[in-house]
Chain A
Amino acid sequence: MLLKVISYPYLAHLFTAFSLIFFLVSCKGDIPPLEREEHDLPQDAEVSSTEPGNYGGVLVTAESQQPRTFNPLVAEDAYSSEAIGRFLNGLTTYHPIKEKVVPELARSWEISKDKRTITMELRRGVRWSDGEPFTADDVIFTFKALFDQRYPNRYMGQYTIAGEPIEFEKLDRYTVRFTTARPYSPFLYVIGFIGILPRHVHLEAYEQGELLQQWSVRTAMHSPEEFVGTGPFRVRSFRPGQRIVYEPNPHYWRVDSQGQRLPYVDYLITRYVQDRNTETVLFASGQIDIASITPGDVVGVRKNAPLHDYTVHHRGPATGIRFLWFNQKPGESEAGKPFVEPHKLEWFTSRKFRQAILHGLDREGLIQSVYFGRAELLHSIISPANERWHNPDVPRYPYDPDRALELLREEGFELDGNGDLVDSKGNQVSFQVYASEGDDITPQILSTFRENMRDLGIRVRIRYLDFGTLVARVSRHFEYEGAMMGFTGGADPSGGRAIYLSSGRLHLWNPEQEEPQTDWEARIDELVYASEETFDLEERVGYVHQMQEVFSEELPLLYLVTPHAYVGLKDRWENVRIPAMGSVIWNIDELYLGQEK
């Protein structure tokens, strides 16, 4: 009963204090070291280049959301994907320090002259965590499943290139060949997204059409040993609302230079907490090993560092982007009501109107106040954290209310006697912005936005919805005027094609267009396709830079700010290498417990 109440996000605050006491009590007692199974190393085992370490230790993390599924074909959210990534591997992976694609289950690859055929050699001798051998059949099985019409999933779109699904065939036990309809340069990057599934486990369910029911949260609770993978860990136990415990996979294919099979840690535990605040409190009181820290909490958390031997690392700008946008979708709903009132649609589709709005928002002030000076202005659709692809030379819109009014006047807007802004037809300018509840910075940004807009004579109403309702409204019903949201960032811009392309599902302001509706959207489509077909990195960067220029000029998304990312990590962990982007414990298999200082 109580647990049910706690799981409701808004009640969470109430229980922060209680849970603290609870955790203090529940954390006593040492966990016995793990008895490791001995198995032969695979023929193609990868030898880690880092310092060899010692077995042992428990790494504890916390998360405010828990996985909704453990099936990669079902997973849509970051939390499920992260849990799946602990026990499944892809063919390739992105190395965040080297900033390039490196082999995972594929040992090597060859790209044909016409750039359309990729032949992959698989790692020999790799075994699944239940001891069965891993072969090309598993790869073929996985791709067959994800292109199966019975199992709709998000990879299907990602792996459809120029309208054609990627073709795949088995050449021999350890070789597969992929063919794309057109040359596709991010192929190696995107092919690593899907975790390869064990054919011997899922074949029966696949044939009976029940693949999507496999590996659910229920499986995790009752029989976690059914999660068979090639990743560094396997699931030991899962308690919803409490924790998930992973233990090392005894058949993992990576070893250190002394021939010890990775990973070093005995257990990896992720605790489920009510909110970000709890996570920070747990970290600052030394109860978890790692936590991301918001800019406002950095000073406070650092105060406790000597007590619990941790360090708060500055990671530079965050990788995600945050923005406001206006609905530019023409047409009407099934009920015959236009998505946006025609005179408002006229404002929202006006470039100068959008530019004026961004000029009118005091983002510099927000950085100074809400973000404690630990953030920077965002000017482009790709975060400055992504140094390779970010274009620093795009049009910028600093806080300048005079310039904003000037731009509005050029578009025929005028201030009336009461200080209200009216358009050329005499309509008073006012709109409503939706945002999601449940984070403390959003209301501060939006109330500042509201005040700033009032200075321009614009009336803004703000409505808070829960995240699911907001997403449904902007992506399915389209009945809204403005909204605020964010995207997490990936390494290669090809991960953002659903946002950039006019036909994209996440082309928020006017999604899934059959034909690009404006010249600039057509131009962006061209640039995206061009960048995907070019194999020369510099040329690709050039296209992506041009694309960012168009976005910043047209401003379909009004960028807000990029907070700096901070991460707290206990000092006792060795081999930690913090990358500019992505998870801090990306090399979790290489982390080991150093000597207590």
Chain B
Amino acid sequence: MSAAAPVPAGAAGRTYRPGRTAILIGATIMAAVLAAAVLAPVLAPHDPYAQSIATRFRPPSAEHWLGTDGFGRDTFSRILYGLRVTLLTAFASTSLALVAGTALGIMSGYYGGTLDRWISAANDLLMSFPQMVAGIIMVALLGPGVTNLILAIAITAFPAFYRMARSAALALRGRDYIDACRVLGYSDGRIMLRHILPETMDDMIVVGTLWLATAVRTESSLAFIGLGAPPPAATLGGLVREGFDNLLEYPGLAIWPSLMILLIMIGLNLIGDGLRDSNDPRASA
């Protein structure tokens, strides 16, 4: 590993190393997936909600590339539209968790004391529920719907960001340059925003990418259980669920959306792994 010539890059002066192939493949996959989601109205050959009794359970054909479901709806079109819901939910919930987790984490680590104790205790509490179970409870309590889904997934993702930001702020707090800022009379807000936040961003982005994958998984898993966006909306997990009901006769209905979920997961994990490896090739735990 040490044989690879380290290329200095970035303001932090970190040495960047291999992992770029993984990022490249992952980014290509995600670019294609994102394009498909954005262009769904153009790309979809059929209306994803148009039902037709005459075309129920059709096998793949030139007319319906991936066949049709039990309502005669075009599977390919439904996957494209499902992609939109899944990606939107994942991005929105991860961003929400990232912003809230980073903000509270930095404040916790920087101020310490009572504030830190309370937020940390609440966070530990949150972590004693399995993520999947916490998601189920949240959606069950808040009721179905995309907004509630986003909120639920954000809450389950919060601890990861909070802990990361907190430990980073805790480590930075004692540094000389932060003391210097204090001596200069900078406000706490300015120190946290301008001098601590930028230092944590590298790590937060890696965690963010990996949690984006987790959010996709949670969303599709909840949808599979029946807690996703309510029908007739198409979501990838919901499509798998619908397909699962007819698994023995028409396995394709469950397989195609499953493969799409898998593709997104692989793409995001490749980017996340690659980013982490280029920060530290040894600690790919």
Are A and B a genuine interacting pair, yes or no? no
